[in-house]
C-alpha cells in the first residue's frame, strides 16, 4: 500500500502551487480586463464621439447666418431684406436669429446629455461582460440608441429652421 505524504506537506505543496500560479492568473485576468476596457473605449470613441462631432457640425451649419440675407432651409430661395428695411425690422430679425441660435445650442446640449447617459449605461453594461463578443453585441444596442437620439436631434433642428424661416418671412412681409 502506498503511503501518502503527511498532511502538513500536502497542504504546504498545495499552498505553494496556489501562491505561485495566483500572480500568473491574476496578471492574465488583468490583461484580459484591460483588453476589454480598450475595446469599450474604442467603441465609445467610434459611436459616441463621432456623433458628438456630427452634432457640432450640424450646429455650425444651423447657426450664425445673417437673417437679412437668407434663412436656414438649404433647398429654398430666399429674398433679401430690402436695403431700406427699418431699424425695427433689422432688430426683430437679429432677435429672431439670436433666439434661433439659443434653441439650436439647447438642442445640442440635450443630445449631449442623452449621449452621456448612453455612454455611462454602455460602460456599466460592458463592465459586467467578460467576452468581446458580448461587448460587441452591446455596441449594436448603443449604436441604435445613439442613432435614434441623433435622428430626433436632426428632426428638432429641421422644425426650428422651418419655424425660423416662417417668422423671418412674416417679419419681412409686414415691413
- On whether residue 3 sits in a domain, the answer given is no
- CA distance linking residue 47 with residue 73, whole number of Å: 28
pLDDT tens figures, 112-155: 999 999 999 999 999 998 888 999 899 999 999 999 999 999 99
pLDDT of the residue at 11: 60
What total of structural domains would you count in the chain?
1
The alpha carbons of the chain give a radius of gyration, in whole angstroms, of: 30
pLDDT tens figures, 65-78: 788 787 777 666 77
- On whether residue 140 sits in a domain, the answer given is yes
For residue 131, give its domain range: 37-70+77-174
pLDDT of the residue at 164: 93
- On whether residue 30 sits in a domain, the answer given is no
Amino acid at each position: 500500500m502506498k503511503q501518502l505524504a503527511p498532511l502538513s506537506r500536502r497542504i504546504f505543496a498545495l499552498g505553494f502551487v496556489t501562491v505561485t500560479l495566483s500572480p500568473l492568473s491574476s496578471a492574465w485576468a488583468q490583461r484580459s480586463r484591460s483588453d476589454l476596457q480598450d475595446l469599450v473605449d474604442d467603441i465609445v470613441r467610434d459611436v459616441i464621439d463621432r456623433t458628438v462631432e456630427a452634432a457640432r457640425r450640424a450646429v455650425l451649419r444651423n447657426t450664425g447666418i445673417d437673417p437679412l440675407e437668407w434663412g436656414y432651409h438649404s433647398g429654398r430661395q430666399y429674398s433679401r431684406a430690402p436695403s431700406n428695411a427699418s431699424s425695427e425690422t433689422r432688430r426683430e430679425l437679429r432677435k429672431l436669429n439670436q433666439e434661433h441660435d439659443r434653441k439650436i445650442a439647447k438642442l445640442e446640449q440635450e443630445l449631449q446629455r442623452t449621449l452621456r447617459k448612453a455612454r455611462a449605461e454602455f460602460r456599466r453594461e460592458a463592465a459586467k461582460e467578460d467576452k468581446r463578443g458580448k461587448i460587441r453585441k452591446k455596441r449594436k444596442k448603443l449604436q441604435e440608441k445613439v442613432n435614434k437620439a441623433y435622428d430626433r436631434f436632426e428632426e428638432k433642428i429641421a422644425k426650428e429652421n422651418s419655424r425660423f424661416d416662417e417668422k423671418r418671412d412674416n417679419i419681412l412681409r409686414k415691413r
